[in-house]
Every structure is written in structure tokens, then in C-alpha cells.
Structure 1
Amino acid sequence: MPMIDVYAAASTFADPKKLAQDLARTLMVIEQVPDIPMFRKNTAAFVHDQPATHVSNVDGDSTYVRVQVLTNADALDRDKQLAVVRQFTDLIAEAAGDATLAERTWVLLTEAPDGGWGLAGYANTNTELVAAARAEIAVLSAGADPS
């Protein structure tokens, strides 16, 4: 259940909600998690508009984007890390309508330690998250409503 935060100068993206949905959906695909409510409801992206005066490099340019992805420990092997960075960079540039923004998009991958991942008021371990997903899949397979 990753969290994605995008920081950019205000008005960088014409449709921030679509970008948030695209990033969340893309990460679920890359992580190869089951398409179940538990993951759909808890994989989310937040687009934070920053005043252009609050973003700068050394030369004063403010046309940069920072994307921070927080996942549970060991969710992304090397191939998945590369896929997240490439695909998120492409989505950012496309959402901004500026192919050159890919050169100024930073993607930071961060892992929460095992047990450092809270959901519904409880800090889950990876083992507990897997068990919860399996239980939900079993309920769905039986034709019941998991909520």
C-alpha cells in the first residue's frame, strides 16, 4: 500500500487528479499486487502544488518535480525500481505536457521498515499485509463482499 507524493510548482499539471490516479495504478502494476480493494483503496498519490517561489535550484530555476514513493520493505526489486523511476518520469512529463521535464524530475524510492507501515490505525508487518491480502482474496473468491 504505497504512498506517492508529487511536489511541483503550481499549475505544472493540467489534471492533478488524473496524474495521481495514473501514478497509483502504475505502481500497483509494477509491484504486481493483486487488483483487490485492499490495494486499490490504499495505494494513493498526492499532488502538492508549491508556489513557484518555493521551488528552486542553485540558478533560480523552478521547473522541477520531486516524486517520493514510500513502499513497504522489499516491495521493489531492482527491475521494479528501474520501472518505477522510468514510468513515473514519463507520466510526469506527459501530465505536464513538457517532454523536457523528464530531465528535471527526481524520483525518490523509500522503504518503510517492516512494521513501520500503518493502515487503519495498526502498524503492519509484511507478513501481516500478505495474510490480509490472502484473506481478502479468499473472501472475494467465495463471492462475498470483503468490506
Structure 2
Amino acid sequence: MPMIDVYAASGTFGDTKKLTQDLASTLMAIEQVPDIPMFRKNTAAFVHDLPADRISNVDGDSTYVRVQVLTNAGALDRDKQRAVVRQLTDLIAAAAGDPSLTDRTWVLLTEAPDGGWGLAGHAHTNAELIAAARAEIAALAGGTQG
């Protein structure tokens, strides 16, 4: 149930709603989690528009995008890490209408420690999240577990 934060200069993206939905659904697909309400409702992306003077490299350029992806510990193996970085970078460049933005998009992958994923006022462990997902799958299947 990752959270995605995108930081960019105001006006970088035309349709931020579509971008947030594309980022969230792409990450959910890469993680290969079940397509159940628990994951659909709790995988989200946020775009933070910043004035251009709030972003700078050493040379003063502000045409960069920072994407921070927070997942629970162990959610992404190495292949999934590579897929997240590549696919989210491509989505960012496409949403900006600027293919060269792939060279200026930084993707940071961060893992919440076990027990450090708060939802509904509770700090969940990975085992608790898995149990909750299995319970929801069973309930959706009419009480049969698959």
C-alpha cells in the first residue's frame, strides 16, 4: 500500500489527476498485490507543486522532478525496484510532455520499517497487513479462501 509523492515546479504537469492515478495504478501493478479495495483505496499519489525558486541544482536549474515512493518493508525485490524507477520516470516525462525530463527525474525508494505503516490509527506490521488482505480476499470470495 505505497504512497507516492511527486515534487515539481508549478506548471510541470497538465493533468495532475490523471498522473496521480497512473502512478498509483502502475505501482500497484508492479507490486503485484491483489486488486482489492484495501489496496486500491490505500495506494495513492500526491503531486506537490512548488514555485520554481524552491527547486534548484548547483547551477540554479529548477527543471527537476523528485518522486518519493514509500512502501512497506520488503515489498519490492530488485526487479520490482528497477520497474518502479523506469515506469514512474516514463510516466512523469509523458505527463509533462517532455521526454528529456527522464534525465532530470529522481526516484527515491523508501521502505517503512515493520510496524511503521500507520493506517486507521494503527501502526501495522507486515504480518497484520497480509492478514487483513487475506481476510478481505476471503470476504470478497464469499467466505472461501483461495
Counterpart of 1:57 in structure 2 is: 57
Counterpart of 2:129 in structure 1 is: 129
CA RMSD of aligned residues (A): 0.7
Match of 1:4, SS state, is strand
Distance 1:120 1:20 in 2: 22
Say whether 1:78 aligns with 2:85.
Answer: no
Q: Displacement of 1:113 after TM fit? A: 0.3
Q: Deviations over 1:63-99 (max 9, x none)?
A: 0000000000000000000000000000000000000
Distance 1:15 1:136 in 2: 33
Unpaired runs of 5+ in structure 2? none
What is the TM-score with the length of structure 2 in the denominator? 0.97
Distance 1:15 1:47 in 2: 11
Distance 2:27 2:83 in 1: 9
Q: Displacement of 1:10 after TM fit? A: 0.2
Match of 1:49, SS state, is strand
Distance 1:37 1:87 in 2: 23
Distance 2:108 2:17 in 1: 21
Distance 1:134 1:63 in 2: 43
Unpaired runs of 5+ in structure 1? none
* Counterpart code for 1:120: A
Match of 2:80, SS state, is helix
After superposing on structure 2, the runs of 4+ consecutive aligned residues of structure 1 that deviate more than 4 Å are none
What is the TM-score with the length of structure 1 in the denominator? 0.96
Q: Deviations over 1:122-144 (max 9, x none)?
A: 0000000000000000010008x
Distance 2:50 2:101 in 1: 16
Count how many residue pairs are aligned between Structure 1 and Structure 2. 143
Match of 1:94, SS state, is helix
Distance 1:121 1:34 in 2: 23
Question: Percent identity at matched positions?
Answer: 82
Counterpart of 1:34 in structure 2 is: 34
Match of 2:103, SS state, is helix
* Counterpart code for 1:134: R
